[in-house]
């Protein structure tokens, strides 16, 4: 049996491949800071995209998108602000938050899934 981190890494790799096939350029995986974690940081054209990857084996634990609640969005937002500060991303760079949901082997990609939280 694989541990949670191994399972997460597997599905993040699936999401990475999916996004790369859509033309995204992956800049970083698993960006960690005190504010939180961002699963994937990518470029989609001019957009800097912060991607949350959520996986569920079945519907018993609810839909993966339900796990990206306001609290989780806040953490991702704070980590994204720090990422931009640390990497000297100019304020003029358009950014957005996407969610890649994987449920029963089906990948669903929600662009601009939520807004930056203060």
Give the pLDDT confidence score for residue 69 in this predicted structure.
87
Give the pLDDT confidence score for residue 52 in this predicted structure.
95
pLDDT tens series, the chain, 118 aa:
467 777 778 889 999 999 999 999 999 999 999 999 999 999 999 999 999 998 877 666 667 777 788 899 999 999 999 999 999 999 999 999 999 998 887 899 999 999 876 5
Give the whole-angstrom CA distance, residue 83 versus residue 86: 5
Instruction: Give the phi and the psi of residue 56 in degrees, each rounded to 5.
Output: -140, 140
Give the pLDDT confidence score for residue 2 in this predicted structure.
63
Q: Which domains does the chain have, with CATH numbers?
A: 4-114 (3.40.1350.10)
What does the angle CA 90 – CA 96 – CA 101 come to, to the nearest 5 degrees? 145
Cβ atoms of 36 and 50 closer than 8 Å: no
DSSP 8-state symbol, 94: -
């Amino acid at each position: 049996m694989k541990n949670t981190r191994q399972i997460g890494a597997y599905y993040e790799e699936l999401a990475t491949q999916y996004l790369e096939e859509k033309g995204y350029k992956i800049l970083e995986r698993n960006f960690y800071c005190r504010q939180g974690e961002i699963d994937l940081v990518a470029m989609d054209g001019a957009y800097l995209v912060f991607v949350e990857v959520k996986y569920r084996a079945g519907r018993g634990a609810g839909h993966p998108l339900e796990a990206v609640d306001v609290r989780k969005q806040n953490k991702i937002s704070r980590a994204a602000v720090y990422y931009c500060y640390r990497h000297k991303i100019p304020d003029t760079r358009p950014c957005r938050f996407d969610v890649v949901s994987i449920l029963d082997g089906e990948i669903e990609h929600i662009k601009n899934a939520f807004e930056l939280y203060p």
